[in-house]
Structure formats: C-alpha cells, structure tokens
C-alpha cells in the first residue's frame, strides 16, 4: 500500500529505498547481459532494491525488437535482445548504463524514465561543454543533427533493463557494420570527435550518476553490496567481487 500524502504533497511517512550503483568496468556483453537478467528477476521478486549498472563493453553489435531480419555474420559478436529499436554498436570508450528499476514503486512511467535517463546524459555532457538534447523521435541524445547517445529500454513485470550508451572516447567505425537505429553510420558522433580530445570517463561517470540520482530524488549513502553479491557473483565470478563499485544511494519517498 502506498503511503498517504499530506495536503502539501509530502509523504505522511518515509519509505527508504536504495539504488545500488554497480560499476562492472570492461565486460563482455554476454556476461553483462546475464547479470542484468539475474538482477531483473531479483528486483521483480523484491530480493534487491533498484540498481544502476555501469559498464564499457568489448566490441559487440546488438539488435533490438525492431530488427526483423536474420542476424548478419559480422567480425564482432552479435546479440538479439529484448530492448526496443534496431541495431547499435558497443565498444570500449563508450559508457553504458543499465537501470534495473521498478517503475511502479518509483511512481513513474516508461516515457518519464527514458526522459530522465536522457536528461542525466544531457547534464553530464553539458559539464563537458557539449550542448545536447534528448529526443523521442528518433529517440536518443542529439547534438544538432548528430546522435551521441543511443537508448533502448525493456520492461518486464514493472522492472526495466537495458539502457543508454553514450559515445565518449570510442571509435565510431563499428557503426558502419550496421545502420544504427535504422540510420546512416555517419549520423553517430562522440564527445571525442566534438571536442577534438579525449574526455575523462571517470569524471563523466560521476557526473552522470549524480544527475541520474538527482532526477529520481535519491540521496547518496555509502553501503555494501551484501544484499545482492550472491546473485551477482554467481553470474559474474571474480570480476564482480573486484570491480563492483561499493556504493549505493538512498532516497526518501
């Protein structure tokens, strides 16, 4: 049962929620996908709280539900996955964020969540001096006529997975294997290409997480990952134990 609201719109009681932030570093896509799916089921069963996964992937092509042809034979691994949209390319230097969030418990819809995820990217890019905007048609974060971030979300039993990929220092050649999101590969850009220099991914990651948490009204609080480490470790092995960022964020609903 949801808490009653006072006349001012403030909750009459406080419900504390945590959103774990898991930084997995550089991952193979299949391994990270297994982690996502395990955490998805755990979140659906209320075994864990909301979770934001951060990673960079080794080179890979993924195709969403919008791609209906046979998967092509390419020189990098190819996955057909549950998110919306068509094809996109991941590689090192690109920050990928996967929110595993219960949208019902957060009192939001999928469109609002997408808007907030894009808004966090826009905010972090702004701190680099890059003016961008989130758009729904076609969906993504854009710098003028160039796309700097691709986004595809799936929802099962109120819980989201998959997410946003933001081009920072990554090379863009891999997009030429496909028509990213049904567009020409030349549509894609990166922070490095716009600024003419590499950017500090660690600093960008911090800015993105801060903006994301602010958009959901989370307050930062350090904690352990004991409550979810069993589920993650079984999927991710030693890398999970060594690479997970042991941070979490608490908010008052």
Told to judge if 32 belongs to the known catalytic residues of this protein, a careful annotator would answer no
DSSP E strands, the chain: 16-27, 50-57, 60-63, 78-80, 87-90, 94-100, 133-136, 139-143, 146-156, 159-167, 219-221, 247-252
d(CA 177, CA 180): 9
CB burial class (10 A; 0-12, 13-18, 19+) of residue 18?
middle
Q: 32, 49, 91, 181: which is the annotated catalytic residue?
A: 181
Give the whole-angstrom CA distance, residue 117 versus residue 97.
Answer: 9
Cβ(20)–Cβ(225) below 8 Å: yes
Residues classed as catalytic: 181
């Amino acid at each position: 049962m949801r808490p009653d609201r006072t006349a001012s719109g403030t909750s009459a009681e406080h419900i504390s929620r945590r959103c774990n932030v898991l930084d997995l570093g550089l991952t193979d896509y299949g391994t990270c996908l297994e982690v996502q799916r395990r955490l998805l089921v755990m979140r659906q069963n209320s075994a864990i709280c909301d979770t934001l996964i951060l990673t960079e992937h080794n080179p890979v092509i993924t195709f969403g539900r919008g791609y209906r042809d046979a998967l092509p034979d390419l020189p990098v691994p190819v996955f057909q996955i549950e998110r919306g949209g068509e094809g996109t390319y991941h590689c090192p230097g690109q920050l990928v964020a996967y929110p595993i969030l219960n949208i019902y418990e957060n009192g939001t819809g999928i469109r609002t969540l997408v808007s907030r995820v894009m808004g966090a990217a826009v905010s972090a890019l702004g701190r680099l001096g890059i003016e961008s905007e989130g758009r729904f048609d076609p969906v993504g974060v854009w710098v003028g006529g160039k796309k700097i971030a691709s986004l595809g979300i799936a929802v099962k039993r109120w819980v989201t997975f998959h997410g946003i990929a933001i081009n920072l220092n990554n090379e863009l050649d891999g997009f030429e294997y496909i028509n990213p999101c049904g567009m020409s590969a030349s549509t894609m850009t990166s922070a490095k290409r716009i600024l003419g220099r590499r950017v500090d991914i660690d600093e960008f990651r911090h800015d993105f997480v801060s903006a994301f948490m602010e958009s959901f009204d989370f307050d930062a609080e350090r904690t352990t990952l004991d409550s979810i480490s069993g589920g993650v470790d079984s999927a991710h092995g030693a890398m999970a134990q060594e690479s997970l960022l042991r941070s979490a964020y608490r908010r008052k609903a």
